[in-house]
Structure 1
Amino acid sequence: MVATNNTAKKSAKSTPAKKSAEKIAQSTEQKLVRLLADTPVQIFPYSRLTRTDLNTRIIPHTDTEVEEMADSIQAMGILQNLIGAELPDGTIGIVGGEGRRRGTGILVLRGVLDAETPFVPVKVLPVEMAVAASMIENGRRKNMHPAEQIIGFRTLEQEGKTASQIGALMGYHPRHVQRCLKLANLAPSLLDALARDNISLEQCEVLTLADTHERQEQVWKEAVEKWRDPAVQTLRKMVTDDKMAISHPMFAYVGEEAYTAAGGTLTADLFSDKDSTFADATLVKSLLAGKLTVLAARLRQEQGWGWSEFRMTELSHSGEDKEQYRFAMPNAVLTEEEEKRVSELEEKMEATETHDDEYECQQDIDDIYTGATYREATPEFRAAHGIWVSWDGDSFQVQPGIRRLTDEDRAAEEQVRQERENNVIRHTTPDIPADAYPATLVMAMSAERTLAVQAELAGRPDVSVALLTWTLCLALFDRTYGKRNEPLKASVSSNQYHLASLAPSGEEGKALTALKAQKKALQATLPENWHLDFTWLLSWSAEQVNTLLGFCAAHGINGIQERMYNHTQKSELDGLEAALDFDLRKWWQPDAESYFGKLKIAQIGKAYEEAGLSARAGEVVKLKRRDAAKAAEQDLNAQGWLPGWMVRPAPAVQADETTDTHTDTTDHAA
Structure 2
Amino acid sequence: MTLQTRTAALADLELDDDINARRHRNDEGIEELKASIRAHGLAQSLRVRPSEKAGRFRIVAGSRRYRVLCELATSGDTAAGVPVTEEFPVPVIIGYEDDDQTAREISQAENLIRLPQHEADTYETFRELADRGLDEAQIAARFGIDPKRVKRMLALGRLSPVILDWWRSEEQTNETSATVRAFTLAPSIEEQEKLFKKLFKQGDVRAWAVKRALGADNPQAARNIKIAGLEAYKAAGGQMTTDLFGDNHVIADPDIAEKVAEEKIASTIAGLKAEGWSWVSMGADLGYYWEHSWKREKPGDGKATADEKKQITKLKKLAAKDNVVAAGHLNDLWKTIAERQWTPDQLGKAGAVVKIGHYGDLEICRGVVKPQAEKKASSASSTPKEKGPPTISNALHQRLSGQATLAVRQALQQEPRVGLIALLAGFVAHRRMHVDSPVRVYHEGFGKTYGEDKETFASVFARLMDMTDEELFQVAAGCAAEAVHMERPYIGKPPFDANAAPLAASIQPDLLTAALQETFDAADYFGGASKPFVITAIREALNDDEARKADKMKKAELTAFALANVPQTGWLPPELRAPTYSGPGEVPEVAAPDEHDPNFDQVDEESEDELEDA
Tell me if both proteins adopt one fold, taking TM over 0.5 as the criterion: no
Question: Normalization by structure 2: what TM-score?
Answer: 0.28
Report the structure number with the largest CA radius of gyration: 1
Tell me which of the two structures has the higher relative contact order, counting C-alpha pairs closer than 8 angstroms and 6 or more residues apart.
Answer: 2
Question: Normalization by structure 1: what TM-score?
Answer: 0.26
